[in-house]
Each structure stands twice: as C-alpha cells, then as structure tokens.
Structure 1
Amino acid sequence: MELKTVLDNLYASRSSRHLANDPLSFCHRYRTAEDREIAALVASSLAYGNVKIILRSLAAVFAVMGDSPRRFVETFEPAEGLQLFAGFKHRFNDGRDLCALFLAARTMIEEADTLGDYFLGCYDPLADDITPALTEYSARILAFDYAPVFGTPVIPDDSYFPFFFPSPAAGSACKRLCMFLRWVVRPADGIDLGLWKEVSPAKLVIPVDTHIHRIGRNLGLTARRQADWRTAREITAALRRLDPADPVKYDFALCHLGISEGCDGSVRPACRECPVAELCGAERP
C-alpha cells in the first residue's frame, strides 16, 4: 500500500480518545477564539515530558486561570501571579517562568489585540515556510521587559523561560512552537482549531518530538539521527509531497502511535495491528 494511502487512513482514524490524552484537549474547553489561542499558547508551552504529568500540570494551571484565559491574561498582574503560582513546578519550569509567559501573552495582546495578529507581524507569506517567522517571533518575545516578574530587565540565567521560545536560527526543532502553530493554523477538524486563517497550513513545519522522529525514520521520511530544525523541515518536505496544502495534517495521528498506542520503537505483538506496520522499517527480531 502506498504511504499516502496509509497515512490518509491513519489521519481518518483520529478519535476523541486520542484528543483526551493530548494537551490540545484543554483548548477545546473554551468557545471563543480569543480564549482558545491563549489556552493553546499555555498548553503547548508545557507540553514536554510524560503526558500524564503534562495533563496534571495543565489542569492545575487552567484551574487558576478560570473560565476565560483571555480575561486572565488581560488582567494579569505579575506580583499577584507570583503568589498564585509560587509552588508551581513542571519539570524545570517554575512559577516565575509561567508568570513571564502570561506577561508575554499580555504584552502581545496589548500591542496587537490578539496573539494571531501579533504573529502576523512576523509572518512572511512569500517565505518557503515559517522558519523566518518563528525566528523573529521568538526574538521579539524574548526582548520584552520581564522586570515585573524577575526583578531585573535581563532574564536571569537560572530561569528556563527562554525554553518556551526557542529559535530555528539556533537549530532547535522548536517542537512546542510548531505544535502551537499546528493547533491554531490548521483548519478546524475536530482536533485542530483553525483560528489563524491568515497563515497558510502549507507553511507549517511538523513538531518533531521523540515519537515523530522515530516513526519518521522508520517510515523513511528522514534518515537524520538528530531531532533538530533541519530534520523537522526534512520530514515536512516528505509529507508535503503527499499533501502540499496541508503537510502537517498527519502529525497528530503519527504522534499518538507513540503517545496513546504504545509504540516505543521495540517490536511487540501490537505491531501486527499497527496501521503503518507494513511500511515501518523498525528492525524485526
């Protein structure tokens, strides 16, 4: 069977069970685009590590943010936020980093009304993909004034806040930023949100985590061993040949082969039922 047929069938198999096991599920709690884009920024920023821990951390954060993430960010005061999130810890990000993220979101909507409009100020529709847009977007955000959070105009060395905004220019795969963009740019299809219609889905780059990197190698989408920006673009280029208008449509389903279906690179009995098994290059015993 051809790769496109296999992946199109996999795309069609996405389900609410997969969504419930994904940080994107928090965005679906809200009805307005303004709330959903803020929820997407927060949820994607913390989407690293074990999925159970991610969901637990996000549940705690959104419980404090209340029924409108947009209103929470609009009225966010760093001094109060530092008290609210004093005990917060998600792996190496702490309450200060989270408050800096809220301050960044507040600054963006103060300057451009929505996160989407702010991103458009960095976006070049004539560029091959989102590489230059993400580079400028991260640089601008890291240049905001975070003294109300950190007590100094320079982000301190012991803060992992810059981890939220990596740059393609440094070679990072920018997994969480690419995931954020997939959520808000791709058409609303029951999974992704379709909020930023001015950005073309054709320009997106796939979010490369351990699952996408491993499965991408097994399917022959890349031969690269390092999960970096070059690899992300290489996998995207291979998928673009299957769907030029929407290459990252396959990301959610491919990723959940690992997140929800247990694919970890080892050959198991479950491989017999895997929808991509016949094309998978994983070594057989």
Structure 2
Amino acid sequence: MSNIDLKEFLDSKVLQYNNLNFIESDPIQIPHLFTQKEDIEIAGFLAATISWGNRKSIIKNSHQMMDLLEQSPYDFVMNHSKNDLKPLESFVHRTFNGLDFITFIKALKHIYGKHNGLEAVFKKHAEPKSLQKSIHHFKKTFFEVEHLQRTQKHISDPLKNSAAKRINMFLRWMVRNDQTGVDFGLWKSILPQQLSCPLDVHSGNVARKLGLLVRKQNDAKALLELDTSLRELDSKDPVKYDFALFGLGVFDKF
C-alpha cells in the first residue's frame, strides 16, 4: 500500500470511529459526565489510570470511582476530610487498590493547590513534538506527596522506556479538539502535534501490519517510531490515527 493509499484508508477509519458513537464503549465516557474543566480533568485522569484489562470492567470501576467521589471529583479532591477518604479504601481495579486511590486524591490536591493544576504541570516541560519528558516530570511532581512505593507503578515513565499508553490517552482526551465531541480540546497551552499515540496491544499490532511500526515491543522506542510514521501522515494532528488503529484492532479485528 502506498503512503497516499495508506493515508486515505486510515483517514476513512478515523471518520468511521472518531464520532459520538465511540463514547458509549470507551472510558472517555467518564469525563463526559461533567462540564467543569477540573471535574473533566480529574475524572479523565482517574479513568485513564485504571484503563487496562477488560473494557466493561474499566468503565464499571470508573463509574464506581466517581460515586466514591460523590460525583464531584474536583470538590472532593480539594475539600475532603480524613473521614471522607475512608470509603475509598474498599476500591479495587486489578492491582490499583484503595490505598493507591487515596494517594492519587492527595496527589491531585497537591497538583491543584501547589502547581496550578494538571495542565500547567504537563505544559511546563513540553517539547515542540513530544510530551514524553513532560510525563516524566509530571510523575515526579505527582509523587511529591507522601506515598507507598507500590503506588508509583500506576504512573508510567517514558524516560524509563515505557510507552505510557494511559497517560498519552488522557493527554489526547484533554488536548485534541476533534470537532466531533469525543476528545475535549480543553487544554489550549498544548498543541495536538505535541501528542503521542496511546500505544497498546491493539494499536501496535495493527500498526505493524500496516508497516507503520517495525519494533516488536510496545515500549518508548516503539512509540517514537510510530509517532514518526503518524506525523508523516498528518503533522498537525498525528494522534487522530489512534481511532483508526484502535478501531481496526478492536472492532474490525484487522
């Protein structure tokens, strides 16, 4: 398939999947429950954090998270008491447990109270065509609060060769303004061309079949290779192709 044919094929798949029908089967439905910027950010960040494993389970447990935060995530984060955190202890999604959840709430309060919010932290170390350094520094800032060592594994570090799929997905949600109402386009200080594709088993396998990716492991080196290929197809909005790669893998069984 020539580059022109590949671009036409993938662009058609973006149109097929990057629409409101996508929301009902995706964890992005969780931040779509809210209208306030900070509520959307926090709901999105928490839903993205537990986005591995069975999709129905991810969505169910993300809804449970919002229930535990009394459907007001930002207000809960900023104004919770010690007693308010008690019910969170029972939460579990795979290896992410209640103690991790409580640490995340405290860390988010620290981010909003001391660092001017999630957008400001990610913007601080952003590079013209990459947010991977930003993710590394975000993790360091996030864990400035007292925490269990085990909780650190729930935020990936691209500078330790992780593809950081879940954070890259969250950043796509916040930054891309896709005009269709799926991604939010909330963050104006970061541009879509700085984003990286959320690389997982599905998108990676499809990318290899299409010749966009050669490296076998889904790691930071593979992500750079995939990003480079996608930027050749669309330099201003390369991660729109996440919809095509993911849709081809999950829905089309490509």
Q: Do the two structures share a fold, i.e. TM-score over 0.5? A: yes
Q: Which residue of 2 aligns with 1:232?
A: 223
CA displacement at 1:76 relative to structure 2: 2.8
CA displacement at 1:78 relative to structure 2: 4.8
CA displacement at 1:79 relative to structure 2: 5.0
| 1:1-285 equivalence runs, <5 A | 2-14=5-17, 15-78=19-82, 80-81=84-85, 83-124=86-127, 126=128, 128-142=129-143, 144-146=144-146, 155-156=148-149, 159=150, 161-189=151-179, 190-259=181-250, 261=251, 263=253
- 2:233 aligns to what SS in structure 1? coil
Contact 1:172 1:228 (8 Å CA) reproduced = yes
Pair member with larger Rg: 1
- 1:13 aligns to what SS in structure 2? helix
Spell out, residue by residue over 1:31-55, the C-alpha distance to the aligned partner (whole angstroms, 9 max, x if none).
Answer: 1212111111111001111101101
Question: Relative to structure 2, which stretch is displaced further, 12-21 or 218-227?
Answer: 12-21
1:139 counterpart letter in structure 2: K
Question: Relative to structure 2, which stretch is displaced further, 44-53 or 109-118?
Answer: 109-118
Consecutive unaligned residues of structure 1, counting only runs of 5 or more, are: 264-270, 272-285
* Identity across matched positions, percent: 31
Residues in 2 aligned to 1:8 and 1:86: alpha-carbon distance in whole angstroms = 44
Spell out, residue by residue over 1:45-90, the C-alpha distance to the aligned partner (whole angstroms, 9 max, x if none).
Answer: 0111110110111111111223321111111345531x21222110
Consecutive unaligned residues of structure 2, counting only runs of 5 or more, are: none
Residues in 1 aligned to 2:98 and 2:71: alpha-carbon distance in whole angstroms = 20
Q: Which residue of 2 aligns with 1:268?
A: none
TM-score (norm 2): 0.92
The number of equivalent residue pairs is 249
Q: Go from structure 1 to structure 2 and tell me whether the alpha carbon gap of 1:16 and 1:205 turns closer, same or farther (over 3 Å shift).
A: same
Q: Go from structure 1 to structure 2 and tell me whether the alpha carbon gap of 1:137 and 1:95 turns closer, same or farther (over 3 Å shift).
A: same
CA displacement at 1:262 relative to structure 2: 5.6
1:172 counterpart letter in structure 2: S
Q: Go from structure 1 to structure 2 and tell me whether the alpha carbon gap of 1:252 and 1:77 turns closer, same or farther (over 3 Å shift).
A: farther
- 1:19 aligns to what SS in structure 2? helix
TM-score (norm 1): 0.82
2:187 counterpart letter in structure 1: W
Spell out, residue by residue over 1:243-270, the C-alpha distance to the aligned partner (whole angstroms, 9 max, x if none).
Answer: 00110011123213333x162xxxxxxx
Spell out, residue by residue over 1:193-237, the C-alpha distance to the aligned partner (whole angstroms, 9 max, x if none).
Answer: 101111111111111111011111111111111000111111111
Question: Normalized per residue, which structure has more helix?
Answer: 2
Residues in 1 aligned to 2:81 and 2:197: alpha-carbon distance in whole angstroms = 34
CA displacement at 1:10 relative to structure 2: 0.8
